[in-house]
């Protein structure tokens, strides 16, 4: 962690302007392709968007040194394990809570997989001897092994900005307690263009749309940002936030067992960005924010 980085209003504003402007433009263009049905270009543009916080750091001339670029294994093994597997634990806990409240929405027959792969894809899967439990098992193994490591390199583009530059400045100016809340809101609001225009994360037609989704996502990013920043503070290595961010993005098993009839209600769960399924992460983040305070 860059302990030498201090609040600099000019640099911070320049960082936000570049990050939001570049990210917003790419999200708008990506949304146009999404709405026209071109999911491939949409995905590519959203991936590029992940590097705009890095761009913001460079354009604001915030020093990259001191962020902890050298991988540190000695003394950090428990934090590496936490970065890689704690996100999955929160995914699972949130899904258990959600499906515990709505057991009728739990589906192991592969309806959600079919809604994604289509009838032909499911037929091909069956022809290869794959059953739905086998596919779910493979997805679980992937999410717990190499998916976080691959996603880490994409998430690094965001984490250099959010945790490497923005969060130390906010913590220095407002203290960790308020700084992490502000940081979570800034991180979440950065996603709003694609959420509004393309229905990213929650869709376009759900209870309370679009304001509830915008607020809910900021609650999630406050919780996730607090947990990731705490890992960064302990490890002093920028790769750890990137690994944790990659693990968050790499686990989607709970949506695979959701009855697709309820996908328009994902504002509530089972993915941890849902208002119900984010409760475990919110509780832990709340403990860190309020009990640990500015220590």
Q: Does residue 11 form part of some domain?
A: no
- What is the rounded distance in angstroms from the CA atom of residue 263 to the CA atom of residue 271? 11
- pLDDT tens for each residue of 51-89: 999 999 999 999 999 999 998 888 889 999 999 999 999
Q: Residues 188, 222: contact at Cβ < 8 Å?
A: yes
Q: Does residue 60 form part of some domain?
A: no
- Domain membership of residue 123 as a residue range: 67-290
Q: Does residue 37 form part of some domain?
A: no
Q: Does residue 253 form part of some domain?
A: yes
Q: Does residue 84 form part of some domain?
A: yes
Q: What is the dihedral of CA 55, 56, 57, 60, to 10 degrees?
A: 120
- Count of CA atoms in the C-beta half-sphere (13 A) of 279: 13
pLDDT tier at 36 (50, 70, 90 boundaries)? very high
Q: Does residue 126 form part of some domain?
A: yes
Which of 33, 81, 80 shows the shortest CA–CA distance to 200? Answer: 33
**Buried b / exposed e along 155-193 (16+ C-beta atoms within 10 A):** bbbbbbbbbbbbbbbbbeebebbebbbbbbbbbbebbbb
Query: What is the count of structural domains for the chain?
Result: 1
- pLDDT tens for each residue of 219-274: 999 999 999 999 999 999 999 999 999 999 999 889 889 998 998 999 999 999 99
Q: Which two tokens stand for residue 172?
A: 């220095």
Q: Does residue 215 form part of some domain?
A: yes
Span 140-158, mean pLDDT?
95
Q: Is the pTM of this model over 0.85?
A: yes
Q: Does residue 5 form part of some domain?
A: no
């Amino acid at each position: 962690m860059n302990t030498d980085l201090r609040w600099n209003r000019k640099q911070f504003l320049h960082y936000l302007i570049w990050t939001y402007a570049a990210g917003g433009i790419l999200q708008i263009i990506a949304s146009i392709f999404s709405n026209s049905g071109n999911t491939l270009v949409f995905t590519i543009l959203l991936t590029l968007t992940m590097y705009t916080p890095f761009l913001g750091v460079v354009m604001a001339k915030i020093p990259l040194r001191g962020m902890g670029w050298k991988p540190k294994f000695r003394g950090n093994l428990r934090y590496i394990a936490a970065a890689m597997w704690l996100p999955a634990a929160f995914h699972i806990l949130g899904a258990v809570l959600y499906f515990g409240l709505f057991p009728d929405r739990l589906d192991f027959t592969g309806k959600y997989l079919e809604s994604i792969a289509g009838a032909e894809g499911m037929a091909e899967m069956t022809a290869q001897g794959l059953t739905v439990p086998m596919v779910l098992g493979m997805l679980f193994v992937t999410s717990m092994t190499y998916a976080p490591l691959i996603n880490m390199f994409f998430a690094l583009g965001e984490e250099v900005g959010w945790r490497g530059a923005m969060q130390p400045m906010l913590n220095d100016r407002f203290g960790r307690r308020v700084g992490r809340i502000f940081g979570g809101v800034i991180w979440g609001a950065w996603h709003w263009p694609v959420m509004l225009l393309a229905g990213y994360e929650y869709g376009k037609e759900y209870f309370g749309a679009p304001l509830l989704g915008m607020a809910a996502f900021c609650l999630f990013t406050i919780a996730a940002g607090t947990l990731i920043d705490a890992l960064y503070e302990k490890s002093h290595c920028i790769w750890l936030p990137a690994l944790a961010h990659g693990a968050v993005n790499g686990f989607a098993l709970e949506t695979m067992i959701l009855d697709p009839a309820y996908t328009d209600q994902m504002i509530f769960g089972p993915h941890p960005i849902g208002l119900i399924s984010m409760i475990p992460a919110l509780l832990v983040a709340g403990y860190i924010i309020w009990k640990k305070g500015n220590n």
